[in-house]
């Protein structure tokens, strides 16, 4: 895996290996994919302002998140159906996260089950991503199983009343290949996604089964069935961040679902400052995902107030290229790039990264 030295190289190699339907499903954003490109471009519009002659011998990338010690401020976001990328699927991703000491998040619609992940990576810090099904018994079961299996938080996805329009999936009539199942379910709920009458089978599944009517009150319901902290995943506005916290969430994940839901929404790094500002008087963490593909991206998000960041597609590319070793390689690339950034920017620890380390390019073009 050493021949891959940046995430883009893993992406190119994965794209060459993956079957078209899986590649399109993993890569796509909503409709014109404007926000998909902006998630990356918006990072490029920020400039890092290094401090010189700080006299750093060694950097420490470690932090504590919701009580867990992790080795760097980069974790793995939930992405569905990972066995399309590699036969070991989510098991490999979770093992890689365990080996590298970072947070792993399992999707509700995964091809390995909650219990299999707990067994494969017993020492990883594991979070469970939750979609709320209309059938509340199904939903309650998922939460209780995750808690019992040692998962440490529920990342409740709040940006998905239905799935976004991803054109490639419609053209490809995307379905889960027949040899795979949604492993957290039994019966129809595990196989319904394997067939489609028209359009994307995934969108049909979600339309039929997810509860579109959920409101902030449902967070109170989840709190009534579990002691795990709840992270609101998918916040893009200050007022929603405050609502999430008032409803009992312990943390906010600024996310646009990898630009897969609604095209034209802000890049996540653009949305981050208003969310950080809105919750500054509450004692809660703010995280970010979307378009993070280099160590300097991570650094910029930390400077703008994120406690840590998560990556979705980079893990899929690593997984497709080399299973567990490929995901580990992806994480090592981030670790190396982050270490260089910390040293050259003159900030030995995460706590040293202050807001003034980053400035928008517009402030320079005015000179
Ligand atoms: C192929 C794919 C599947 C995803 N599946 C889920 C999911 O099941 N649940 C969820 O909350 N988010 C899902 N997401 C969104 C990710 O959790 C995350 O927000 C996003 O991928 C971050 O952007 P990035 O891919 O640019 O890092 C998915 C994203 C991708 C690309």
129 Cβ closer than 6 Å to some ligand 1 atom = yes
Residue of 77, 133, 234 with the most ligand 1 atoms within 8 Å of its CB, for mutation: 77
Give the start-end residues of each E strand in the chain: 46-48, 63-65, 68-70, 74-76, 103-106, 125-130, 153-157, 230-235, 251-254, 285-289, 308-311, 358-360
In whole angstroms, how far apart are CA 36 and each of 29, 220, 255, 259, 357? Answer: 6, 32, 12, 5, 26
Residue 2 CA, ligand 1 centroid: distance in Å: 26
Angle value at C-alpha 293, between 289 and 297, nearest 5 degrees: 75
Q: Examine the residue annotation and report whether 179 is marked as an active-site residue of this protein.
A: no
293 Cβ closer than 6 Å to some ligand 1 atom = no
Q: Which residues have CB under 8 Å from 209's CB, separation 6+?
A: 133, 134, 135, 189, 192
Residue 202 CA, ligand 1 centroid: distance in Å: 14
Residue 362 CA, ligand 1 centroid: distance in Å: 30
> Measured between alpha carbons, how far is 145 from 141 in angstroms, rounded to an integer?
6
Residue 51 CA, ligand 1 centroid: distance in Å: 35
Give me the CATH topology for the region 7-365: TIM Barrel (3.20.20)
Tell how many helices (H) and how many strands (E) occur in the chain.
15, 12
Both tokens of 196, joined, read 């489609």
- Residue written as tokens 């959920």? 214
Residue of 15, 27, 80 with the most ligand 1 atoms within 8 Å of its CB, for mutation: 80
| Whole-prediction pTM | 0.98
Atom number, ligand 1, closest to the C-alpha of residue 155: 11
Q: Which of 86, 171, 179, 257 is catalytic?
A: 257
Question: pLDDT digit of tens for each residue in the chain (367 aa)?
Answer: 999 999 999 999 999 999 999 999 999 999 999 999 999 999 999 999 999 999 999 999 999 999 999 999 999 999 999 999 999 999 999 999 999 999 999 999 999 999 999 999 999 999 999 999 999 999 999 999 999 999 999 999 999 999 999 999 999 999 999 999 999 999 888 888 888 777 788 888 888 899 999 999 999 999 999 999 999 999 999 999 999 999 999 999 999 999 999 999 999 999 999 999 999 999 999 999 999 999 999 999 999 999 999 999 999 999 999 999 999 999 999 999 999 999 999 999 999 999 999 999 999 986 6
């Amino acid at each position: 895996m050493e021949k891959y030295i940046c995430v883009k190289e893993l992406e190119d190699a994965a794209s060459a290996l993956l079957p078209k339907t899986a590649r399109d499903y993993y890569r796509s954003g909503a409709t014109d994919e404007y926000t998909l490109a902006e998630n990356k471009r918006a990072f490029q519009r920020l400039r890092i302002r290094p401090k010189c002659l700080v006299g750093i011998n060694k950097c420490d990338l470690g932090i504590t998140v919701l009580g867990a010690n992790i080795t760097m401020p980069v974790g793995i976001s939930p992405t569905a159906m990972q066995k399309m990328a590699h036969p070991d699927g989510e098991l490999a991703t979770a093992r890689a996260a365990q080996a590298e000491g970072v947070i792993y998040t399992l999707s509700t619609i995964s091809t390995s089950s909650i219990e299999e992940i707990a067994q494969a990576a017993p020492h990883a810090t594991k979070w469970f991503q939750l979609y709320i099904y209309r059938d509340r018994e199904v939903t309650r079961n998922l939460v209780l199983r995750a808690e019992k299996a040692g998962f440490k938080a529920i990342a409740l996805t709040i940006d998905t009343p239905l799935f976004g329009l991803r054109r490639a999936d419609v053209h490809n009539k995307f379905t889960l290949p027949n040899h795979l199942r949604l492993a957290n379910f039994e019966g129809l709920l595990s196989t319904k996604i394997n067939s489609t009458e028209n359009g994307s089978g995934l969108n049909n599944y979600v339309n039929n089964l997810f509860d579109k009517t959920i409101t902030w009150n449902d967070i109170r319901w989840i709190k009534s069935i579990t002691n795990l902290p709840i992270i609101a995943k998918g916040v893009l506005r200050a007022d929603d961040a405050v609502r999430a916290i008032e409803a009992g969430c312990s943390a906010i994940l600024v996310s646009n679902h990898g630009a897969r839901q609604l095209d034209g929404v802000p890049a996540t790094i653009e949305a981050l400052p208003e969310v950080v500002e809105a919750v500054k008087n509450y004692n809660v963490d703010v995280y970010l995902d979307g378009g993070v593909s280099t160590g300097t991206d991570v650094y910029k998000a930390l400077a703008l107030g994120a406690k840590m960041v998560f990556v979705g597609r980079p893990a899929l590319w690593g997984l497709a290229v080399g299973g567990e070793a490929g995901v580990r390689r992806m994480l090592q690339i981030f670790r190396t790039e982050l270490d260089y950034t910390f040293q050259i920017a003159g900030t030995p620890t995460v706590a040293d990264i202050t807001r003034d380390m980053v400035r928008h390019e517009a402030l320079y073009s005015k000179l």
